[in-house]
Amino acid sequence: MNNNRYKILVIEDESNIRSFAKAILEANQYQVITSDTCQNGIMMFSSHRPDLVLLDLGLPDRDGLEFIRTIRSLQEATPILVLSARTGETDKVEALDLGANDYITKPFGTAELLARVRVALRVSQYSGNPSLSLDGKFFLHDLMIDYDRRIVSISGNEIKLTQTEYNILVLLAKHTGKVLTYAFIIREVWGPSDDGGVKKLQVNMANLRKKMGIKPGDNRYIINELGVGYRMCEE
Ligand code: CA
């Protein structure tokens, strides 16, 4: 047995979900520790230094958002995946804005859980830019971004982007695999004091996707996470 295994902390009060996640992860060579409360989860985080946290938001003692706030206020960059209920869109957005890396909607299956865990661990390992080559170019399928020359091409054909479209694309590329909320993108692209940004973002995103040849409903390169934000897909 390999001893160099990733350690995952699962914080979830529903015992069936907790054991389900634990069983799947252990069967895939992850080391798993669990907690059923927020307070104990914070203590276990400090003493066990996990590589990733799976976090339920509805915990019996404190809101799971408190966990994210506490961990991020300690400048800890450990990836946090939120386990969220199907209808909790505002929760998801708040969790992502507080610094959670991603969310998984309950009920979730084995393949989805493992895929999200792998992506989050990979992103954290390569400090957010898994596809950046040594000569300053980003590649994803046929898409290439040349950061030095500020050129974007698909299958070798250059596509002309506005400054704003380019900035949005680069931001998504920099965080490949991670959902970026509307508020985050707006803040990064237009600055903190911008009003009415969501509409503006959607318009720019529609133009960007059109120029990239992505049809509505198509999730090539960029996934539209409805009501939450956008994600550059990894595979
Ligand atoms: Ca719960």
Res 128: pLDDT:
45
- Mean confidence (pLDDT) of the chain: 87
The class level of CATH for 137-232 reads mainly alpha
Q: Where are the domains of the chain?
A: 7-126, 137-232
- Which secondary structure element, helix H or strand E, spans residue 159, and what is its range? strand 157-159
Query: What mean pLDDT is predicted for residues 209-227?
Result: 88
Confidence (pLDDT) at 1: 45
Length, in residues, of the chain: 235
pTM: 0.70
Cα of 218 vs centre of ligand 1, distance in Å, is 33
CATH among 2.120.10.30, 3.40.605.10, 3.50.50.60, 3.40.50.2300 for 7-126: 3.40.50.2300
Instruction: Report the separation in Å between the CA atom of 178 and the middle of ligand 1, taken as the mean of its atom positions.
Output: 24
- For ligand 1, the distance from its centroid to the CA atom of residue 106, given in whole angstroms, is 11
Cis peptide before 107 (omega within 30 of 0): yes
Mean pLDDT of 67-91: 86
**Which candidate, 107, 115, 60, places its Cα nearest to that of 83?**
107
Confidence of residue 4 (pLDDT cuts 50, 70, 90): low
Ligand 1 centroid distance, CA of 88 (Å): 12
pLDDT digits (tens, 9 = 90+) for 14-28: 999 999 999 999 999
